[in-house]
Amino acid sequence: MNISDYMQQVGKQARDASVEIARASSGDKQKALLAIADSLEAASNDIQAANDIDIKNAEAKGLASALVDRLALNAERIAGMIDGVRQIAGLSDPIGAITDLEHRPSGIQVGKMRVPLGVIGIIYESRPAVTADAAALCLKAGNAVILRGGSEAINSNQAIAKCIRQALAQVGLPETAVQVLETTDRAAVGELITQTKYVDVIVPRGGKGLIERISNEARVPVIKHLDGICHTYIDDAADVDKAVKVAVNAKTQRYGTCNTMETLLIAEGIAEQVLPPLVKAYQAAGVELRGCEQTLKLYPDLVAATEEDWGTEYLAPILSVKIVTDMQAAMAHIREYSSQHTDVIVTENWTRAQQFLAEVDSSSVMVNASSRFADGFEYGLGAEIGISTDKIHARGPVGVLGLTSQKYIVLGNGHIRG
Amino acid sequence: MNISDYMQQVGKQARDASVEIARASSGDKQKALLAIADSLEAASNDIQAANDIDIKNAEAKGLASALVDRLALNAERIAGMIDGVRQIAGLSDPIGAITDLEHRPSGIQVGKMRVPLGVIGIIYESRPAVTADAAALCLKAGNAVILRGGSEAINSNQAIAKCIRQALAQVGLPETAVQVLETTDRAAVGELITQTKYVDVIVPRGGKGLIERISNEARVPVIKHLDGICHTYIDDAADVDKAVKVAVNAKTQRYGTCNTMETLLIAEGIAEQVLPPLVKAYQAAGVELRGCEQTLKLYPDLVAATEEDWGTEYLAPILSVKIVTDMQAAMAHIREYSSQHTDVIVTENWTRAQQFLAEVDSSSVMVNASSRFADGFEYGLGAEIGISTDKIHARGPVGVLGLTSQKYIVLGNGHIRG
C-alpha cells in the first residue's frame, strides 16, 4: 500500500463524510451512537478475542507491564466503554444553536450559529477504549474523525471500528465518518497531521514525546497538553484541615494522571502548622518528598529538591515541596514552572483568592479544591477528548463544545451596505 | 544588531509586560487608550512629517501608486485613526467576566473566566493606521503586542509607536506592552512566528502571499484569512428586486475588499428575470462579467468564464456568473470554490434559507443581505483585528473577544475527589 495515496483517500473520504454528518439531525446522531453501543455489546466476545491477540503480541515483544495493562480489555472495561458511548448519546446536541442574534443599526440581524469543526484527527497510544470514546464525541459534535491508535492495539481497534461502521451503515450515515487507520506505518501520521485540505484539527493523546513530535511537525492546528505540572499553594490564611485534606488528595488520589499535584508551595507563616500532618500523611502513603532548603531545615531527612524537580511531572509518588514567603512568591514560582494545566490556592482570604483566580494563567485555577477535579466528567462536560493547555480555541478539559466552532449568520430583507 | 538576540529580547519583554497588562484594571486600560489617542493627536504633525518621508522614499523606489495611496496619511486619515482608538477605549472590557458558574454533584462550583491570550504578534503591510488600531485592540483585551509593519512604513510606524509608549508610561503601564519592531529585516518575522515561548498567536494582515508564507512557517498558532472568494446565490424563490439590489451592492460597493462578491450563482428558474437588470447595472458600473456556458447563451457577448475564474478573488471590477439548476447545485459549487469567508442566499423560501444557513460552511452565512456587511464594525464588534476563515478559535470578524480565551475556575471549600 502506498501510504500517501491511502491517506489521500482517507482524508477525502473523511471530508466528504463530514458534510453528511454535519447536517445529520440530532435524532440520527443519537440513533447512531446508541447503535454503536449496541453493536459493541453484541460483538464483545470478538473485541475481547482481538484484544487477546494484541496482548499476546505485546507480551511476546516484551512490552512493559504498565503498557500491557493499559492495552488490556476485560468484561468490565468493555462495559465501561459501551456505557461511555451511551452517556455521550445522552448529551445535548450543540450543533445549530443560534446565540446573540441582535439587530444592528443597519437593519440586519447578526448572530452566531454553532457548527462542527469538520474533520478531527486523533492520534493516541495504547488504550483501545479511546477508539469508541473519541469516535462518539466527534460524531456527537457533527464531525467526521480519523483515528490512529497505537500499533500494539491494532486488532482491538479494528474490531471496535468494525462495530462502529456497522452501526453507522445501519442508521444510514456514511461509514467513512469514522475511519480507524488500517496501517501502523508511522508515515501515515506524518501525512495526517499535514493534510490541511482534509483535516481541521489534530488531537494527540499520549506521552509527552508523541505530543511534542506531533506539535512540531503538524501543519493542521493541534489541541493538546504537553505536561501536567500542577501546583497547590497553601496560603498563610488557609484553614489547616482543608489544606491538609486538599493537598493529600491532590497528590495521592492517583499518581499517574495529569491533574495530580507535582509541587506543593507553602507560605512560610503556616509551614510549621501544615507540614507535620502533611509529612505524616505523605510518608504513610509512601510518597517521597523532595524539599527546598527551608523545608530541609524543618525536615533534614528529606531529599533535597533540585532545579530540575520544579520542572518535572513525576507521574509517580514523588512530591517537591517549597516554602515561599507569600502568595506573590507562589504566583511567581507558578509563572516560572507551571505547565498551565491546573493550579490551586488554599486560603480563607477573599482578596487573595480573587487575585489568584484572576492572575494565575492556567487552564484551570482552583480555590480550596483538589487539582484532581480537573477533568471533563467532574466539570460536567460529560466526556472529554483531552485537556488543552493551549490558549487558542479551547482551554482545559475539551468536551463536545470544544469540537465545534461558531460561524456568523446574517439575516436581512434585501439589505445593502451604504 | 543580531536579529535573533533582538527578537529574544522583544519576546521576553512582551511576555513580562503581558503579565502586567493582564492584571491592569478596566479603568487603567481605558485611561491608557485615551492617553494614546491624546498623544497621537498632539503629535499629528510629527506623524505626518514621518509619513511624508515614507512617501518620498516609496516614490523614489517606484512603489505602485495603489501602494503609495495605502501608505499615505493625511489629516483626515490621522483623525480617523485617533477616533478609532477612542472608540476601542469605549468598548466594554471582556476580561475577568465569569460565566456558567454551576455547582457540580461533587460540591465544587465550576465556571469559566475570560482571560487575555497573552502576547499577540501582528504582521501587516503598508497601512500605518493599523499600528494604532491593532495596538489598541490588543491592549483592550489585556494583551501585550508585537507589531511588525511594512518596511516602507517604518518612519510612520515609529512615530506612532513613540506616542503609544509615551501614553503607556504616562498611565504607569509598561511601555513594552506595545513594541513596534525597529528592524525591517525579514529574519525578524521568521523569529517572531516561531517564538512559541513568548508569542501566543500571530495575526498576519496583508496579501495572500504574505499570509501563505507565514502560515507555512509559523510554529505559533495563526489567526488568518487567505482569500475572500464570496458567493451570492439567487434562488428561484428570490424576490427579484431584493436580489438585484443585494447582488449589485455585493459587487460594486467596493472592489478591493475581501467581503466583495466574486461569483454570482443564479438558479436557472429565475435567470431570465434577474439577469437583464443585473447585466445592465454591472455594465453601467463598468464591471466585466465572465459567464458560464448557459449565461453565454443568454448573453453571447460576455467573456467565457474558465475553471480558473471560479477560484479567483478578483479584487477588481470583474464578476464570474454561473447559472445553476437549484440550491443544491449552488451549495455544491460553494463547497468546491468558496474560501469560506462569506456566502449569501437571496430567497423568500423559508426552508431553503434555513438549510443554506445551516449547511454552508463559511465564517459568515447570510440571507437576503449583501456580503459587504461582513466586518467587525457592521457586526457590532467595534473594530476588528482581522477576519478569520479558519475554524479554530475565532471565525469571521475577530474583535476584542477573539483576542481572549476562557480558563476554567473551580471554587471549593476543602473539596477533595473521592
Residues A190-206 pLDDT 10s: 999 999 999 999 999 88
CB-nearest partner of B408 from A364, A407, A408: A364
Contacts of residue B311, defined as CB under 8 A and 6 or more positions apart, other chains included, come to B229, B337
**Nearest-5° angle of CA B13, CA B17, CA B19?**
130
Q: Coil, helix or strand for B72?
A: coil
What confidence category does residue A1 fall into, taking pLDDT thresholds of 50, 70 and 90? confident
- Cβ <8 Å between A412 and B246: yes
Q: Coil, helix or strand for A267?
A: strand
Output the CA–CA distances (angstroms, integers) from residue B347 to A109, A341, B117, B239, in the order listed: 16, 48, 40, 7
Closest C-alpha to B404, from B20, B88, B17, B95: B95
Q: Averaged over A95-112, what is the pLDDT?
A: 96
CB-nearest partner of A414 from B245, B335, B409: B245
In this predicted model, what pLDDT tens digit does every residue of B128-139 receive, in sequence order?
999 999 999 999
- Chain A residues with CB under 8 Å of B390 CB are 221
- Cβ <8 Å between B414 and A366: no
List the single residue in B with minimal CA-CA distance to A393.
B393
Of A47-61, A146-160, B380-394, the range with the lowest mean pLDDT is: B380-394
- Cβ <8 Å between B392 and A241: no
CB-nearest partner of B407 from A219, A363, A407: A363
Q: Which residues pair with B364 in a beta bridge?
A: A408, B342
CB-nearest partner of B380 from A102, A221, A367: A102
What confidence category does residue B227 fall into, taking pLDDT thresholds of 50, 70 and 90? confident
Q: Using a CB–CB cutoff of 8 Å, tell me whether A363 touches chain B.
A: yes
- Residue B59: phi and psi, rounded to 5, are -65, -40
pLDDT of residue B14: 98
- Chain A residues with CB under 8 Å of B261 CB are none
Q: How far, rounded to the nearest angstrom, does the alpha carbon of residue B141 sit from its chain's CA centroid?
A: 16
Q: Which residues pair with B264 in a beta bridge?
A: B232, B321
Burial of A156 (0-12, 13-18, 19+ CB in 10 A): buried
CA separation for the pair A207, A211 (Å, rounded): 6
User: Would you identify the CATH topology of the domain A3-223+394-411?
Assistant: Aldehyde Dehydrogenase; Chain A, domain 1 (3.40.605)
The residues in A 168-207 lying below 8 A from B, measured between CB atoms, are 200-201
CATH number for A230-378 (one of 3.20.20.100, 3.40.50.300, 3.40.309.10, 3.40.50.1220): it is 3.40.309.10
CA separation for the pair A199, A193 (Å, rounded): 8
Record the pTM: 0.93
Q: Using a CB–CB cutoff of 8 Å, tell me whether A99 touches chain B.
A: no
Residue A226, pLDDT above cutoff 80? no
- Residue B116: phi and psi, rounded to 5, are -65, 160
Beta strands in A307-356 (DSSP E): 318-324, 342-346
CA separation for the pair B396, B379 (Å, rounded): 10
List the single residue in A with minimal CA-CA distance to B392.
A393
Burial string for B220-243 (b: 16+ CB within 10 Å, else e) reads: bbbbbbbbbbbbbbbbbbbbeebb
Q: Averaged over B165-179, what is the pLDDT?
A: 97
At which residue does the C-alpha cell 434555513 appear?
Answer: B354
Mutate to test the interface with A, among B106, B110, B381 (most CBs of A within 10 A): B110
Mutate to test the interface with A, among B373, B375, B390 (most CBs of A within 10 A): B373
Closest C-alpha to A356, from B416, B411, B15: B411
- Chain A residues with CB under 8 Å of B199 CB are none
What are the extents of the domains in chain B? 3-223+394-411, 230-378
Helix-strand-coil percent breakdown of chain A, rounded to 5?
A: 45, 20, 30
The residues in A 39-98 lying below 8 A from B, measured between CB atoms, are 96
Nearest-Cα distance to chain A for B90, in Å, is: 18
Q: How far, rounded to the nearest angstrom, does the alpha carbon of residue B247 sit from its chain's CA centroid?
A: 23
Q: How far, rounded to the nearest angstrom, does the alpha carbon of residue A168 sit from its chain's CA centroid?
A: 25
In this predicted model, what pLDDT tens digit does every residue of A3-35 receive, in sequence order?
999 999 999 999 999 999 999 999 999 999 999
Q: How many CA atoms lie within 13 A of A277 on its CB side?
A: 12
pLDDT of residue B49: 98
